[in-house]
Amino acid sequence: MHADIVRLSLRHVDIKIVNGERMHVLQWRRHALWDEVLLDGKRQASSRGLWGRENVYGLVFGRDLDGSGGEQVMLLIDPGYASSNWITEDERIRGVRLEGRDGPLVSYGTLDPKSLEKPATFSDWMKKSMGMDWGMRDSRPN
């Protein structure tokens, strides 16, 4: 199974999932009072409320008519704003992660496993958090 993020915005996430010979479209939508998850245009899950809506959804691809079998995946959404500035047209949600049995299929932002790694040194922290390279470089050849 392979997945790619096709569209990512403040209220929309579209993920293309290829499973063998079949392609699926997984969509997350944020509305004023509810969120919904659609698979190939059909609603699979929803959560309602002003605050504290569900951010973890479990889905099954290719399930038999009796409900057995299929590929299980988990969709995680971090719907907060990506920055503290006023919302602009290119504002995105903070993080998305689609995980299968063998690990992440696709991840972005705060839910990317690389973002959870702690820097080993102060220099690495400065570079990661502020984009600054701390310290002097030796320009002499070795």
Domain-located, residue 136 = no
CATH code, domain carrying 33: 2.40.128.180
pLDDT at residue 66 is higher than 70: yes
Mean pLDDT of 74-102: 77
Q: Which amino acid is at 43?
A: R
Domain-located, residue 142 = no
For the chain, the domain total comes to 1
Structural domain harbouring 70: 2-130
Domain-located, residue 138 = no
Domain-located, residue 90 = yes
Mean pLDDT of 75-85: 73
Task: Decide: 122 and 23 in contact? Cβ < 8 Å.
Answer: no
- Tell me the per-residue pLDDT of 96-132, one tens digit each, with 9 for 90 and over: 999 998 889 999 988 887 766 677 777 776 776 666 6
- What is residue 64's predicted lDDT score, i.e. its pLDDT? 78
* Cα–Cα distance, 123 to 127 (Å, whole number): 6
- Residue 137, token pair as written in the block: 């470089």
Contact residues for 41 (Cβ-Cβ < 8 A; gap 6+): 25, 27
Within 1-142, residue ranges assigned H as helices are 122-130
